[in-house]
Amino acid sequence: MSIIGLTGGIGMGKTTVGAMLRRLGAWIFDADAVVHRLQAPGGRALPAIRRLVPDAVRDGRLDRVALRRAVVADPALFRALEAIIHPMVFDECRRFLRAARRAHRPMVVLDIPLLYEAGMDRLCDRVIAVSAPCAVQRARVLARGHMTPAQVDAIIARQMDDRQRRARADHVIYTGLSRALTWRQVHAVVALVRREQERGRR
């Protein structure tokens, strides 16, 4: 089984690349979806988040806007939140990999925005970094309509620099030009993985 890490900063186009990899047959571990489940009513992370940021949990539900506002303003608080969430995501990822092996899946993708920051790249055989020009990145995030420019800039500044991410990755997929070009890049990586698997079976 080939384990591919997929990472990229906010607004880089990682969701698009993940959807393309799914179309090509990969099983996807979606860390963002896991985090949403952990933070949902009754989720494992909610009690610890309530203790950390009491105003962010009301009537058993997470106020994501209040949580984002709190952690963007306080880097130490953000690190404390990561210390709660990252081990739980790691546990869910290991369960996913066990299930994929039992199902004899040939290729899985760990779609994790903070792959390197969380140290989860060590689970991967190779890593894809998704990248786009800074202006494209900011425009995409602002178009979502739930963050101010200052909040977007704070999140980008807190994440690993795009150049560092690209330098560490085995493959870089650029999403700033056209969907067709992105698709060709994704297809080329998957074709390479499949050729290597075929050589390994000989």
Residue ranges of the binding site = 11-16
Q: Residue 186: which of 31, 12, 23, 3 has the closest Cα?
A: 23
Could you tell me the sign of the dihedral formed by the alpha carbons of 95, 101, 104, 106, in that order?
positive
Binding residue ranges for ATP: 11-16
Q: What DSSP string describes 143-161? A: HTSSS-HHHHHHHHHHSPP
Q: What tokens appear for 145 in the block?
A: 């309509």
Burial of 5 (0-12, 13-18, 19+ CB in 10 A): buried
Q: What DSSP string describes 96-151? A: HHHHHHHTT-SEEEEE-TTTTTTTGGGG-SEEEEEE--HHHHHHHHHHTSSS-HHH
